[in-house]
A and B are shown apart, each in its own frame.
Chain A
């Protein structure tokens, strides 16, 4: 239970993918103008993160480590994730057109999203700081990636809410539009910095 709480806290707050690790900045700044699209993007990223972990983690541990080809991890993971998303898009389109209408447009955008690649890379690395005495296995990996995705969604929704609200305020002409979004992003990251002081 302690490990579970540690993983949730780390993935959502202290090591949040956007605010602490600065992964996935492109959707963070690009798709955060409307809350509905930000939420759709966040959920799509979460889904792909979990599926990517489910596929890459076993491949790494049971195929790449025994064959001693770990040095190919990045290029292999990009390979796998990109094709996985391609297949996922087709499957969703067939199985659930409604779901496809809601998040189908975001799937091609995250074929090789750095947040997705980041979580798979992170999970095969040294996680002892978060896991403590427990050893890494596929279960913890999936839980970590799920909550990393939810943390990503959380920050996306906060950002889009603030950007929607910003439309109602006067901003200096030089700052209006994208620059003020960067300033907003800075303040969100500073707010999340407080969580990094939590020692697990």
Chain B
């Protein structure tokens, strides 16, 4: 049967073609509607509301695939609101209300680089001339730095930082605590895993990640932690414990007395008060440290 030979007039054949289309369009439309009805998925309204209140940075700092993944996890109770470091406290309170949970007060955190081994302090073990990214450098014999826990200084963290909070000076990355939103992008990017979060109010942090023995650290770095435990012994508040040849701070106990900063023979327990506000007392400490190294 030839549909178009029903008539030999052109305009009627055009009408027939249009009719075929209209008919099939209605048919397919109805089919889609029926399928849509039958296979309707009840999307949880809670999830879309949570998603509205999240920051929407999609930074992946929480370990989920974007904010929608995090919202999904939150609604199911598989994640804690504190995993997100970007959403503002007001919005978090609203989400907590939606979820019917109480929001635990959480201190603002910032990222710090646990390394002081710039070009002056830690030598290169070979000259690296490849692609200037930390990932590429690290894939070749664990990077060009003599210490295998040292910052490679190629600036992968700087490249991913959404707030431009990271500066690389003298092949050493440093985080500006005022700009840091603690999203965690640099923490996941760093191939050496030497960037970590500390509370924004933390008075001190240790600027070394080497878990090697004292002798091995001494041979490669001028300022690496040798695990002498002086800081842990001298701390009057018992805030420092030693783990893997490195001091670990319990910031809930730390009062900021800076005893550890003064006793550290390698000067790698950094007082964050010095960088924030230069008090004469701390300056004196710094000068004393300088004299010692000279």
Residues of A that sit less than 8 Å from B by CB: 66-69, 72, 75-76, 79-80, 83, 86-87, 90-91, 93-95, 167-170
Does B28 contact A68, Cβ atoms closer than 8 Å? Answer: no
The contact of B31 among A87, A95, A167, A168, by CB within 8 Å, is: A87
Which residues of the partner chain A approach B40 to less than 8 Å between Cβ atoms? 90, 94
Of the listed stretches B44-52, B129-137, B235-243, B277-285, chain A binds B129-137
Q: Does B263 belong to the interface (CB within 8 Å)?
A: no
Which residues of the partner chain A approach B276 to less than 8 Å between Cβ atoms? none
CA distance A180 to B139 in the complex (A): 22
Does A72 contact B39, Cβ atoms closer than 8 Å? Answer: no
CA distance A167 to B136 in the complex (A): 8
Closest to B43 in A: A93
Closest to B17 in A: A72
The contact of B2 among A67, A76, A93, by CB within 8 Å, is: A67
Does A168 contact B3, Cβ atoms closer than 8 Å? Answer: no
CA distance A5 to B130 in the complex (A): 45
Can you give 20 A-B contacts (C-beta < 8 A)? A68-B3, A68-B4, A68-B5, A69-B3, A69-B20, A72-B17, A72-B20, A79-B28, A86-B32, A87-B31, A87-B35, A90-B41, A91-B35, A93-B39, A167-B136, A168-B130, A168-B131, A168-B135, A170-B130, A170-B131
CA distance A93 to B76 in the complex (A): 18
Q: Give 3 closest A-B pairs by Cβ, nearest first.
A: A94-B39, A68-B2, A87-B35
B121-145 near A? 1/0 per residue, CB < 8 Å: 0000000001101011001000000
Interface size class of B (residues with CB under 8 A): 20 to 34
Query: B151 CB to closest chain A CB, in angstroms?
Result: 19
Which residues of the partner chain B approach A79 to less than 8 Å between Cβ atoms? 24-25, 28
Which residues of the partner chain A approach B135 to less than 8 Å between Cβ atoms? 167-168
CA distance A18 to B1 in the complex (A): 39
Would you call the interface of chain B mostly helix, strand, loop, or mixed?
A: helix
A90 and B39 contact, Cβ closer than 8 Å, known pairs A68-B4, A72-B20: yes
Residues of B that sit less than 8 Å from A by CB: 1-5, 17, 20-21, 24-25, 28, 31-32, 35-36, 39-41, 130-131, 133, 135-136, 139
Query: A144 CB to closest chain B CB, in angstroms?
Result: 25
Closest to B129 in A: A170
Which residues of the partner chain A approach B130 to less than 8 Å between Cβ atoms? 168, 170
Does A90 contact B139, Cβ atoms closer than 8 Å? Answer: no
Query: A125 CB to closest chain B CB, in angstroms?
Result: 21
CA distance A158 to B39 in the complex (A): 36
Does A83 contact B31, Cβ atoms closer than 8 Å? Answer: yes
Does A83 contact B28, Cβ atoms closer than 8 Å? Answer: yes
Which residues of the partner chain A approach B136 to less than 8 Å between Cβ atoms? 167-169
Which residues of the partner chain A approach B21 to less than 8 Å between Cβ atoms? 75
Which residues of the partner chain A approach B24 to less than 8 Å between Cβ atoms? 76, 79
A90 and B36 contact, Cβ closer than 8 Å, known pairs A72-B20, A168-B139, A169-B131: yes
Which residues of the partner chain A approach B31 to less than 8 Å between Cβ atoms? 83, 87
CA distance A169 to B139 in the complex (A): 12
A90 and B35 contact, Cβ closer than 8 Å, known pairs A76-B24, A79-B28: yes
CA distance A80 to B25 in the complex (A): 9
Does A91 contact B1, Cβ atoms closer than 8 Å? Answer: no
Does B32 contact A87, Cβ atoms closer than 8 Å? Answer: yes
CA distance A79 to B22 in the complex (A): 12
Which residues of the partner chain B approach A66 to less than 8 Å between Cβ atoms? 1
The contact of B39 among A75, A80, A91, A168, by CB within 8 Å, is: A91
